[in-house]
Structure 1
Amino acid sequence: MNITHLTPDPTGLVDWPTLSNDRKSVVTVGVFDGMHRGHQAVIGRVVELAKQFDAFSVVVLFDPRPGLVHKYAAEHHGSEPDANVRDSQALTNVDERLRMMRALGVDQVLVVRYTLAFAAKSYRFFLGQMVGKLGMRTLVLGQDAAMGKDRAGDVKAISTLSAATGVFELEIVDDRGPGHVWIPGNAAPHMPSEWGEPADPCASMNKAERRAWSKKQQAKLHRTWSSTNVRYLLSQGRIVAANEILGHRHAIEGTVVHGEERGRTIGFPTANLDEASVTGYLPVDGVYAGWLVDMGPADDGDEHAGAAAADRVASDDRARIADGSPWRWPAAISIGTKPTFSETTGLHERVVEAYAITSDWLELYGHRVRVEFAGFLRPQVKFDSADALVAELARNVEETKRLTAV
């Protein structure tokens, strides 16, 4: 898979590469945050059609998320976020999306830095560039796709343009999954109060009760297979439901730093992640079962090493991430403050810790690690003593072993 990083000029123009003088391409466009089943259906169809037509399969991937750029601009007098602004709402980083696109068999990924000037271009102009520069013969989109200035290029408008010009075909993929779901408009992260995987609060409601709940929550209708729904589920601790939509385990990545080392003193040494380095959406506070993956020493942060890093991510990292690799271990994962000790230490910062279930001593300081989530175990609670906490952690480890089939 060839990966090209492109930055629009100040006017929003992109210097698109010429892929071939005689070979056409099948293209899709978007953010693909989370790479859920809907995204996989769209990209899978791109690859399928490209093989059928002996064309390039091409993904135009926007980074950072448009939602982040526009929200940041609205809050900072029209300025745009730089590379140091962390997108806490992004489900996945670009590296993760690239890994999955390679696994799906994509030929070309064009990673375009999303800017306000670029966003101001009309969808007609953008699609003209796709045809003229990339040789686009077919555009593949999901059912609710929209692009260009003010998102005027929805499926209906693009279909009309395709029919009027005859220079490209439009194919729409059903990327909704099993219909739609109501999500509270005022949703905020909510830590479950009970032990075990949370249930759908609406599952036992009848139609009238569900209607009343939706009205009270100011709920809005969203596709079941959507990044918004995955984000909502993770914010409620509903890992299993989120993973079902994703079609893979939700994961975050970050750099291991020195913590209080209290876990070591009670027999549960943890890898502590620097929150500022974390990429991927952090589920709500709680204790989870999952896996810890050693991705190797962190790079030096050279922003000009993007293309080389992307190539490494798509090859070397896949071996580390693979099930059964020697770089991964089942892990009990804690997100949040440390209520049992915070009154004593005076520390109330939100932290991410992972206790790898292995008899080997792991030296991971300064390493980039991946934390994958399998299920919710329990809320963060204050225990009466360190002994009570140790006993509970032992139970969490046994439950983690069960959920990760060790």
Structure 2
Amino acid sequence: MKIIRLTPDTTGLVDWPTLSTAKKSVVTVGVFDGMHQGHQAVIRRVVELAKRDRALSVVVMFDPRPGLVHAWAKAHDGAEPGSDAVDVEALTSVDERIRIMRGMGVDYVIVTRYTLAFAAKSYRFFLGQMVGKLGMRALVLGQDAAMGAGRAGDVKAIRTLAEGTGVFELDVVDDRGPGYVRVPAVIEPHMPQVHGEPADPLAGLTKDQLRAWSKRNNCRLNRVWSSTNVRWLLSQGRVRDANKVLEHPHAIEGVVVHGEERGRTIGFPTANLGDAISGYLPVDGVYAGWLIDMGPASDAEGADAPDAVGEDSRLAAGSPWRWPAAISIGSKPTFSEKTGLHERVVEAYAIASDWLDLYGHRVRVEFAGYLRPQIRFEGADELVAELNRNVEETKRLTA
């Protein structure tokens, strides 16, 4: 798979490359944050059509998320976020999305920087560029897709354009999944106070109760297969339900740094992730999951991380760089000026036969299930007893 990164000029124009003079292309366009089952259905169709027609399979992916760019501009007098802006709402990094696409057999991923000038172009202009520059002869979209200035290019408008011009075909994928779910308009993390995976709070409610809950929480209807729903589930500690939507374990990545090293004194040394974490942090609590050593962070400098040699083998089930882990997420009282949120600490205790020296290594933390809320213990003995229980639960959930 080839990765191309493009930045529009100040007027919003992109210098799209010529991918091939002999082959046409099948294209899809979007953010694909989370790479959930709906996204996968669209990309599988792109690869399928490309193979059938002996064409190139192409994903045009936007970074940063349009939602971040427009929200930032609204809050900062029309300014755009800089390259150092932290997107705390992004489920997955661009590298993670590319990694999954590579596994699905995509030929090209074109990562295009999303700017306000680029967003102001009409969908007609954008699709004309796709046809003229990328050789697009088929466009694959999900049912709720929309693009271009004011999101005027919905499926209906694009189908009319495709039929009227005859220069490309539109293939619409049913990516709705099992239907719709109510999600609060403002997602606020809530740490469950129960032990074990929390249940769906809406299960078993009557119509009147459901209507009252939706009104109280200012809910909107979202597809079950949606990035918004995954954020909501993770913010409530419902990891297993989120993983069902994703069809893979939700994960974060970061570099291991020195912490207070209190865990080592009681027999539970942890890998502490630094502040630069990619991926959406679930609500505070203790989780079962996995810790994967991706190698020294310096090895990835100057290279495209998704193409790193041996990365897939490290991620594979049963690899020697992968361990079951009890994971703790907790908040610091210190206020972070950079993100506007309280600083949060991620610590993972790998269930391994020997102590692991992972300082300076990039690691991946995958979540399998919620174990318990953060609890204040009276003493070390009480804490150690609880940690031992967490380890046994983790072994069971990751078996």
CA–CA distance in structure 2, aligned partners of residues 310 and 240 of structure 1: 28
Alignment match, 1:343: none
Q: 1:208: how far off?
A: 2.2
- Conservation of the 8 A alpha-carbon contact between 1:3 and 1:310: no
Q: 1:311: how far off?
A: 5.0
Structure 2 residues not aligned, in runs of 5+: 334-341
Letter in 1 for 2:356: L
- Conservation of the 8 A alpha-carbon contact between 2:99 and 2:306: no
Alignment match, 1:224: 224
Q: 1:57: how far off?
A: 0.4
| 1:274 equivalent in alignment to 2:274 | yes
CA–CA distance in structure 2, aligned partners of residues 31 and 310 of structure 1: 19
TM-score when normalising by structure 2: 0.95
Alignment match, 2:307: 312
Q: 1:175: how far off?
A: 0.8
| 1:285 equivalent in alignment to 2:284 | yes
| 1:330 equivalent in alignment to 2:318 | no
Alignment match, 2:370: 376
Structural mapping, 1:7-406, within 5 Å:
7-275=7-275, 277-299=276-298, 305=302, 308-310=303-305, 312-313=307-308, 315-337=309-331, 349-405=343-399
Letter in 2 for 1:152: A
Indicate the SS of the match to 1:282: coil
CA–CA distance in structure 2, aligned partners of residues 242 and 117 of structure 1: 34
CA–CA distance in structure 1, aligned partners of residues 245 and 28 of structure 2: 21
Structure 1 residues 202-249: Cα deviation after superposition (integer angstroms, max 9, x where no partner): 111122221221122111000110000000000000000000000000
More divergent stretch after superposition (180-189 vs 223-232): 180-189
Identity of aligned residues (%): 72
Q: 1:356: how far off?
A: 0.2
CA–CA distance in structure 2, aligned partners of residues 193 and 33 of structure 1: 29
Q: 1:46: how far off?
A: 0.2
- Conservation of the 8 A alpha-carbon contact between 1:252 and 1:282: yes
Instruction: Give the length in aligned residue pairs.
Output: 391
CA–CA distance in structure 2, aligned partners of residues 188 and 311 of structure 1: 32
- Conservation of the 8 A alpha-carbon contact between 2:98 and 2:306: no
TM-score when normalising by structure 1: 0.94
Q: CA RMSD in A?
A: 1.5
CA–CA distance in structure 2, aligned partners of residues 165 and 349 of structure 1: 53
- Conservation of the 8 A alpha-carbon contact between 2:95 and 2:306: no
Structure 1 residues 250-293: Cα deviation after superposition (integer angstroms, max 9, x where no partner): 00000111100000011100000112x10000000000000000
Q: 1:312: how far off?
A: 2.5
CA–CA distance in structure 2, aligned partners of residues 337 and 319 of structure 1: 33
- Conservation of the 8 A alpha-carbon contact between 2:93 and 2:279: yes
- Conservation of the 8 A alpha-carbon contact between 2:290 and 2:325: yes
In structure 2, relative to structure 1, the CA distance for the partners of 1:247 and 1:88 (3 Å cut) is same
CA–CA distance in structure 2, aligned partners of residues 349 and 265 of structure 1: 24
Q: 1:116: how far off?
A: 1.1
Structure 1 residues 60-81: Cα deviation after superposition (integer angstroms, max 9, x where no partner): 0111111111111222222222
In structure 2, relative to structure 1, the CA distance for the partners of 1:201 and 1:387 (3 Å cut) is same
Indicate the SS of the match to 2:298: coil
Alignment match, 1:344: none
Q: 1:349: how far off?
A: 4.9
Q: 1:22: how far off?
A: 2.8
Structure 1 residues not aligned, in runs of 5+: 340-347
Q: 1:11: how far off?
A: 1.0
